[in-house]
Homo-oligomer: A and B are copies of this chain.
Amino acid sequence: MANEGAAFADALQAAQEAGFAEADPTLDITGGDSGHKLAILAGLAFGARVLHGEIPTEGIEQVDPRDIQYARNFGYVIRPLAIAERLEGGALDLRVHPALVPEGDPLAHVDGALNAVAIQGEMVGPSFLSGLGAGAGPTATSVAGDIIDIAKNSLAGAPVRTWNLPSESDQKIQAIADLSSRYYLRFSVRDDSGVLAALSGKLGDSGISIEQMVQHVDAGDEGTASIAMLTHHAREGDVRASLAAIDATDLTTAPTHLIRIVE
């Protein structure tokens, strides 16, 4: 999608016709499928008993071609990510959402039907694995490979492999409001002088500092403009509260769009 800037519906139809998206694509689009997989991976990696409903999840349906273009101008690409990290205090940071990823990151090159897993181990450092995550051949190979593995182990008299099943039943998951992140923000505003100063002032009052910014007069809608910016690190709860206050004024003409930056 990001590659072509194609409209969402066209991209989805193409993905369905190629066999990459499901006939009912709801779980693909909303991030639900990624949430299910992240719950399993968090269990295997951290022994955490997590239900996918506990994982903050956002889909890709809100990503606009303008966001893809702005991100590119800032040196980023937008990728749907599922993230699991054990924080220093012991809580888990688990989340599924589209994110701005730096162009130089290996994840930025994961495109088409490719899937990838980037792992950061304390001792082993960074590992990166990628392969096709959809399509008849790759899917059939994975299923057949698992069956062959089970059959060989069974013939060899080996019991079923024991996993590190979830052991921590009261695992603390960090509230998304407590996330510290950098953010991409896209404001839809009136094309008036003074709007930008008012916006910056309100963000600054909430302790949110702007790293880069660009303003464009909207091609379609007369009298409106888009302001895209990257923030420095901030607490998500503070950013959301500030945006809610801004969107309640007549500074903005549509809800402000937020995408997290992951690097």
Residues of A whose CB lies within 8 Å of any CB of B are 106, 109, 121, 123-132, 135, 137-138, 140-142, 152-153, 156-159, 162
Contacts and interface: CB of A to CB of B under 8 A. Distances in A.
A10 to B, nearest CB: 25
Given A127-B129, A129-B127, A141-B124, A162 B152 contact: yes
Give 8 nearest A-B pairs by CB, closest first: A158-B158, A127-B131, A123-B137, A124-B141, A125-B132, A123-B141, A128-B130, A129-B129
> Quick one: which of A131, A135, A142, A156 has the most chain B CB within 10 A?
A131
A132 B130 CA distance: 16
For this chain, the copies found in one complex come to 2
Contacts of A109: 106
A156 B142 CA distance: 25
Contacts of A141: 121, 123-124
A158 B153 CA distance: 8
At the interface, is chain A mostly helix, strand, loop or mixed?
mixed
A137 B125 contact: yes
A143 to B, nearest CB: 11
B123 A140 contact: yes
Contact of A123 (B130, B138, B152, B156): B138
B137 A124 contact: yes
A129 B117 CA distance: 10
Contact of A125 (B129, B131, B156, B162): B131
A61 to B, nearest CB: 28
Nearest to A124: B141
A132 B128 CA distance: 10
A42 B159 CA distance: 29
Contacts of A130: 106, 127-129
A184 B140 CA distance: 40
A141 B211 CA distance: 39
Given A106-B106, A157-B159, A128 B131 contact: yes
A140 to B, nearest CB: 7
